[in-house]
Structure 1
């Protein structure tokens, strides 16, 4: 009797862990790539498809636009966020790829000339497949989160962000720390819709404040590797640091390191800090960096968007707050 119960338990676990996840992925993949509805009937393919270069596989896959957007939202924003924040992310993701689609006159992806975009978040937008979503969320949360993201994407289907008749570059980041940045303060080029705006309510972000300790010897070594001709005290390098200019968003724009003037972005990249809104202090043989915010700070703040959604803002309210002077339209 006990042996039969044990066999039943093992069989049940096999179904739960192996068979059911595989069936879910096959089901989602069938609807995704073969154009089948939930009843298995063939439906008319969507008119727009995205040529996505999947870096891990070194190949290009053709994916319906709206299904591609679901993969971006799942990869870029916590699925636990409010639905209006997910909608805002969906519209931003759709606008990003639409602007780059070669079929619409876009420049495509420079990593792979035949692709519209890639799935490398340092180059284009992050993207994950349904099987990766299943692995990320687990079988019990998969249906809930996938359904929620699908609702956000489907309810905004075809909606794009425009500025003066042209699709925008909808830059976004995790956490601004209270105020976003002007585009020129980060990259030097003025973009009229990427203006600094307040972004309250981001304290729930796990990276709203972060602390990092680095040995003084490592700090000096990195600085000298970056700027070989720099003059700096190897014992107390931080004593020769001075903030010269801050951006409108409150981040460090320029600072003096020894005999050089450098940008806050250079220091952030050099020491792998979360943002350019940082301060430092000496702590024995280490330098303690305290950063506020996470990301470049330009455009939509994801945690700020969720905070707005929690206060009752719609996705349109969110997008028009973070992108100045835009229009939101549905493409044919």
Structure 2
């Protein structure tokens, strides 16, 4: 290419960029009357309803690595919000805190960092998966970062910032990285372990297999201060008569040892929630107390599929396992990938132009 041709190309390129900028500047005005009247700041993030056209245009020009836009998200104390554009780190910090809390109060700082990292990568993967398929991730709750105690906020942010661009993939696609607070005890194998998606939901997802998770009870008892419930040995009385149970149908337990929805039948009645049970999926075994009164051991919190939070904390604290090994243990056959850069230095149209021109 001659000097004259190079200059001509540069002029045309400049004109193209200016036209693109003008287009993106014009979009906000065109949609101004549809936008929310005034921005709401949550955790330092602008949560104004942003028209998709504007968001996509700005992302195309400048990239969007440091922001994440979610179709739906529950804000603690504020309810479900739609089309939230959040600072990515704030988003991951807020949800990680909701999920794991201040675990640094009972494990070492290093172990807490690895468990928080594992949780943050799982959250990011889960969000990206549901965005990709247009499904809702409104089961997650974001705690505004200004509502998190400063010491916990600082520690969790340190963990999140080091992994904020990482997601889990299987065969090149981001995964539905589900998790639960704790897994159960499999009476068939005699070990604590997670439940496979096939056993829990009837769908065989290759990366959601049943795996051993030996620290369930030990760390569930410690984490109950965050969860707010004591999952130890508890007597079960029929909620209507006050009498101890006489019989129970356990035939609907899945292979992971979990009771499925609405399938615990006691004294002829079907239950989903029982007293202190705050999860609709749980594990149990029947026995008697020291006086011979029938009672129930119950443990496990959530569906038991994917990463166990108690197990992740246990592996980090007891075996010094890093977050990558934790994630690869709970999600079979996955890879950890860094998502494409979207900052002005590496993503969007301007990032592409810099790379094209060798800048």
Query: What TM-score range do you get, normalising by the shorter chain?
Result: 0.5 to 0.7
TM-score by length of 2: 0.60
- The answer (yes or no) to whether the contact 1:268–1:276 under 8 Å persists in 2 is no
Displacement of 1:146 in angstroms is 1.2
Match of 2:144 among 112, 129, 152: 129
1:107 and 2:126 correspond: no
Instruction: Describe the SS at the equivalent of 2:324.
Output: helix
Partner of 2:282: 276
User: After superposition, where does 1:1-332 map in structure 2 within 5 Å?
Assistant: 29-30=43-44, 32-33=45-46, 46=65, 48-51=67-70, 52-54=72-74, 56-57=78-79, 59-60=81-82, 61-81=84-104, 82-101=112-131, 105-109=132-136, 117-118=137-138, 124-133=139-148, 137=149, 142=150, 144-177=151-184, 178-202=192-216, 203-206=218-221, 207=224, 209-216=231-238, 218=240, 238-239=246-247, 241-244=248-251, 246-252=253-259, 257=265, 267-269=271-273, 273=277, 275-280=281-286, 288-310=295-317, 311-332=319-340
Q: Deviations over 1:282-308 (max 9, x none)?
A: 789x96332022222111011110111
* Distance in 2 between residues matched to 1:209 and 1:57, nearest whole Å: 28
Displacement of 1:45 in angstroms is 6.7
Displacement of 1:322 in angstroms is 0.4
- CA-atom RMSD in angstroms: 3.5
Q: Deviations over 1:212-253 (max 9, x none)?
A: 444435279xxxxxxxxxxxxxx88633x3433654434456
Unmatched segments (≥5 aa) in structure 2:
1-40, 48-61, 105-111, 185-191, 225-229, 341-359
Instruction: Describe the SS at the equivalent of 2:246.
Output: helix
Displacement of 1:80 in angstroms is 2.2
* Distance in 2 between residues matched to 1:185 and 1:327, nearest whole Å: 24
Instruction: Describe the SS at the equivalent of 1:50.
Output: strand
Unmatched segments (≥5 aa) in structure 1:
1-26, 35-42, 110-116, 119-123, 221-234
Displacement of 1:186 in angstroms is 1.6
TM-score by length of 1: 0.65
Rg (Cα) greater in structure: 2
